[in-house]
Structure formats: structure tokens, C-alpha cells
Amino acid sequence: MPNDLSPWTAVYHQSRRWMDGGCFEAVVHDLRAVPLLAEREQAEPKAANRQPDTAFDR
């Protein structure tokens, strides 16, 4: 490993803590949600195109 990085044992132990803690699964879950959220955002009407719900909104 290059000298400017931490010793491999420190990197290994930190990555094991992340794996044991479910960090990578959480990242994958969030990344899978991004396209779904973008699709939902495009489907929602914008506030400027919204019809007033009450007389107060007019």
C-alpha cells in the first residue's frame, strides 16, 4: 500500500466495522431510492400549476 495511507490493518478493521454496522447496505438502499424519488418528483404537479383548494388560496 502507498505510504500516505493508513496501515492496512486499520483500513481493514474500519471496513469491517462499517460492514458489521450495515453501512454499505444503507448506502445501496439509498442509491436505489434516488431514481424512484426523482421519478416521483417529476410526476407531482408543481405549485405554480396547482389549482386553488379553497377560497383563501385564491
pLDDT of res. 48: 60
pLDDT in tens, the chain (58 residues): 567 889 999 999 999 999 999 999 999 999 999 988 888 888 766 666 566 665 555 5
Contact criterion met (CB below 8 Å) for 5 and 11: yes
pTM of the model: 0.50
The three three-digit cell numbers of residue 45, written as one number? 404537479
pLDDT of res. 3: 77
pLDDT of res. 14: 95
